[in-house]
Amino acid sequence: MPGRRTYDASMPEEPVVLAPVERSPTTAHTAMLDALVAGEGLDRVAEIVEEHVGARVEILVPRPGSDGADGTAAERYVAELVAGGDPERPLEVTDLAPIVSGGTLQGAVVMLGGEGDAQTSAYLGAAAVAALTGVAMLNAREEASREDDELLAELLAARQLPPGEIVRRARLRGCDLTGGFLALCLNPGETPAGRVVATIAAERPDALVEQRGPRVHVLLPGDAEGATKLAARLAEQIDASAHSSRYRQAVDARAALEEAELLLKLVEAGGRTSSDRRTWDSLRLIFRAFVADPQELARFSEQTVGAVVRHDERHGSELEVTFWAYQENNCNMNLTAKATFTHRHTISNRLTRIEELTGLDPVRNYDRELLSLAFKAHIVVTMAPPR
């Protein structure tokens, strides 16, 4: 498409050429999602497609059990398709793109009149994907008006709910917790949280998802692999994510949510984007020990590294920071000094001070392992909600 020329009256001899506006199914899809987030609905999505294909477009998603008998020929046709039939396509429907979720046909984007081609099909396909997101958003809004909508919020607020009630309320929203589950906590960043919720609903209709403040919380049936795949699918929409370990009993749903929330705080504090690191499994185990016996974990942390923590608080000595840097740099003092912008002798003196305060030598392997465990326990005890 050639650029459009405009002229400044004060400089008529030098025309300015504006770059052409890109028009493609991808940019159209982005405009559709923006319209949905703005609350303009599926009708606006259809209008955007019409602007590109030059023909009337309708997005048809029949209600469950509807046969479309009272609708147009196109509505009856799509309703029969959704019901599993093989009806003859009406002449007025010149092209269509199916709306599919979880392998099940939900509806279709239909073009009425005009002539279809590859480009037209691409725009209709983009609309079908956007429509799926729109339907998920509508469902989420309907659920938000139901009594059972605030289940995750109630769990995070430490409201005591019987396990049977947790299972029942989750099932009402299509989430079965009886086979095991994980929790995810997501930071959408600049992306509207509604779009993230809609994507999750479309990608994993078996998930239970709620927005709570700036975070999005999810209970996800399955294992860590499913959580990792979902986080990867959302990678372009979110700033950071974290998932809990796998829990088997619905009574542990609150613990799973709190574990994921704690790990997200650590992910963000470390400037990372995900908790998918094998070494973080130790933090997950320590959190579960905290849930089982918070007082015992607090006692272990205090008894082992409490003196170091208090010394840092009083003197700003950065002993704990130095310990973690020493660990991160494979116990190499020169690399640790470089990473912390200090002298090698300073690192040596700080490690010696840790030994004086704890009786454990960070240079010795077994002592270092115990110190690491105790510092991690301190992190969990300090950052986890009280129990």
Dump pLDDT digits (tens) for 358-381. 999 999 999 999 999 999 999 999
Quick one: 39 and 64 in the same domain?
yes
Quick one: 155 and 138 in the same domain?
no
In a domain, 5, yes or no: no
Residue 127 CA to residue 52 CA, distance in Å, equals 11
Whether the per-residue pLDDT at 13 is higher than 60: the answer is: no
Quick one: 93 and 134 in the same domain?
yes
What's the confidence (pLDDT) of residue 7?
37
Residue 235 CA to residue 276 CA, distance in Å, equals 13
The residue-averaged pLDDT of 33-38 equals 85
375 phi and psi angles, rounded to 5 deg: -65, -40
Quick one: 175 and 272 in the same domain?
yes
Quick one: 271 and 154 in the same domain?
yes
Quick one: 46 and 154 in the same domain?
no
Look at 263 and 37; give whichever has higher pLDDT. Answer: 263
Quick one: 270 and 378 in the same domain?
no
The residue-averaged pLDDT of 62-81 equals 82
Mean pLDDT (the chain, rounded): 88
Residue 377 CA to residue 282 CA, distance in Å, equals 10
Residue 179 CA to residue 234 CA, distance in Å, equals 24
In a domain, 284, yes or no: no
pTM of the shown model: 0.64
In a domain, 324, yes or no: yes
Residue 128: how many other CB atoms lie within 10 Å: 22
Residue 343 CA to residue 238 CA, distance in Å, equals 39
Quick one: 247 and 347 in the same domain?
no
Tokens 């208090």 -> residue: 310
Mean pLDDT check: name the lowest of 10-14, 44-48, 164-168, 284-288: 10-14
Q: Count of domains in the chain?
A: 3
Strands in 208-212's sheet, in edge-to-edge order, are 208-212, 215-221, 181-187, 240-243
Quick one: 256 and 176 in the same domain?
yes
Residue 48: how many other CB atoms lie within 10 Å: 20
In a domain, 121, yes or no: yes
With left for phi above 0 and alpha for psi between -120 and 50, is residue 115 left, alpha or beta?
Answer: beta
In a domain, 194, yes or no: yes
Whether the per-residue pLDDT at 316 is higher than 60: the answer is: yes
What's the confidence (pLDDT) of residue 135?
80
Residue 309: how many other CB atoms lie within 10 Å: 18
What's the confidence (pLDDT) of residue 24?
87
In a domain, 14, yes or no: no
- 328: domain CATH number is 1.10.10.2840
Which residue in 145, 144, 146, 135 sits closest to 105, CA to CA?
A: 135
pLDDT digits (tens, 9 = 90+) for 230-241: 999 899 899 999
Tokens 């010696």 -> residue: 352
Whether the per-residue pLDDT at 2 is higher than 50: the answer is: no
Which residue in 131, 132, 289, 101 sits closest to 206, CA to CA?
A: 101
Whether the per-residue pLDDT at 343 is higher than 50: the answer is: yes
Contact between 124 and 53 (Cβ < 8 Å): yes
**Domain ranges, residue 256:** 147-276
DSSP 305-334: HHHHHHHHHHH---HHHHHHHHHHTTT-HH
Mean pLDDT check: name the lowest of 9-13, 70-74, 147-151, 351-355: 9-13
In a domain, 18, yes or no: no
Residue 85: how many other CB atoms lie within 10 Å: 10
Of 79, 109, 143, the one marking the end of a domain is 143
Quick one: 91 and 210 in the same domain?
no
What's the confidence (pLDDT) of residue 326?
96
pLDDT digits (tens, 9 = 90+) for 265-295: 999 998 899 998 888 899 999 999 999 999 9
In a domain, 282, yes or no: no
- 40: domain CATH number is 3.30.450.40
Of 114, 143, 172, the one marking the end of a domain is 143
What's the confidence (pLDDT) of residue 141?
61
Tokens 């979720």 -> residue: 101
- 210: domain CATH number is 3.30.70
Of 226, 247, 276, the one marking the end of a domain is 276
Look at 222 and 104; give whichever has higher pLDDT. Answer: 222
Look at 13 and 179; give whichever has higher pLDDT. Answer: 179
Residue 287 CA to residue 255 CA, distance in Å, equals 9
Residue 209 burial class via C-beta count within 10 angstroms: exposed 0-12, middle 13-18, buried 19 and up: buried
Quick one: 310 and 271 in the same domain?
no
Quick one: 205 and 91 in the same domain?
no
